[in-house]
Copies of this chain bind each other. A is one copy, B any other.
Amino acid sequence: MDRPRLKDVAERAGVSLKTASNVVNDFPHVSDATRQRVQEAIDALGYRPNVSARNLARGRTGIIALAVPRLDMPYVAEMARYVIEAADAHSWIVLVEQTAGRPEWQNGAVLDDLFRRIDGLIYSPGLAGESSLEQVAADTPIVLLGENLYDERFDHVSIDNVAAARTATEHLVAVGKRRIAAVGVRRERQSGTTRERLTGYRQALRAAGLPVEPKLVRPAGSFRGEEGERAAEALLRLPKPPDGIFCFTDWVALGVLRALHNHGVRVPEDIAVVGFDDIPYGRVATPSITTIAPDKREIARIAVDLLAQRLSARGRPSPRSTLVDFDLVVRESTSGRTVDPGGTARRPRH
């Protein structure tokens, strides 16, 4: 037996095609009695809408793109996971675009191509350079994740990086550290996220009456482990090395831990380490990493909802920026003790 079409449902229920369609889509102007009759026909036949046909008729594609640097970065994979789940609730399929090392993403034509195939874009610039989104965003909604390049021109979701960095640094102060380094600023470009985290770091130091020493602020622009390793080596060579390190990502923190281990430095006794992102590896690292854990599921949900709203909205609402919760998760790299991996110390926002 062939798959039932809407026509079959309509015939069985004794109504027109369009009425059956209205029931399927939960549209108004259908009496309860009719609605129920159609619903019974749907159930009896096991009818499911044909997505291609619907998309064609509606002028939609049923696809949203998630543009990320690369899917095999743990933070990104986790975000992708949640975006997929959230998109599913809107019957959207997620086209994951990996932008790292693809200069064509700077190319208007390629972007234009992409935009013809999607209903919306969730763009997580990450380390990628700026691409020319405004050229193509004519009528396709875009939501930015994390960094807010394009100052306020698009919808935007992130955590409060300043507050999070402050929280992380305060925690190092709270466990008794006085010379606290920051690793992860970008050399080449003063990116938004990096600058914000640096600001939070400075705020916390000042609030604690500690000096801000430029020598304790090290770059690790690509956010890779190797860079963290190098930064930590440099810090250890200082006449007065730090006793705490705030890393702008967990990935960098892993590299820092490697270097500290290689030099026989005890963590957290000699130097305590805090990371950022709460990637899965931070939990099994040796020692496990205290970190800032953004509410990734919530970020994804809001991002997808913003797309949906913009798509159903008349006209062009002005861009909205949303801040999402984060947690400080205390683990061995600052406490020395094995802690419940989900353990939460603070929830400063929202």
Contact = CB atoms under 8 A, between A and B. Distances in A.
Interface of A: 3, 48, 50-53, 55-56, 60-63, 70-74, 76-78, 80-81, 84-85, 93-96, 98, 113, 116-117, 225-226, 251, 254-255, 257-258, 261-262, 280-281, 283-286
Contact of A93 (B76, B80, B93, B285): B93
A72 B61 contact: no
Contacts of A113: 48
Contacts of A70: 81
Given A117-B51, A284-B225, A74 B71 contact: no
Contacts of A72: 74, 77-78, 81, 280
Q: How many copies does the complex hold?
A: 2
Contact of A285 (B55, B95, B285): B285
Contacts of A258: 284-286
Contacts of A93: 63, 93, 95
13 contacts: A51-B117, A52-B56, A71-B78, A72-B74, A72-B77, A72-B78, A74-B77, A77-B80, A93-B93, A93-B95, A225-B283, A254-B284, A255-B284
A61 B71 contact: no
Contacts of A285: 254, 258, 285-286
A61 B63 CA distance: 12
Contacts of A84: 71, 96, 98
Contacts of A48: 113, 116
Nearest to A260: B286
Contacts of A257: 286
A191 to B, nearest CB: 22
Contacts of A261: 286
Contacts of A116: 3, 48
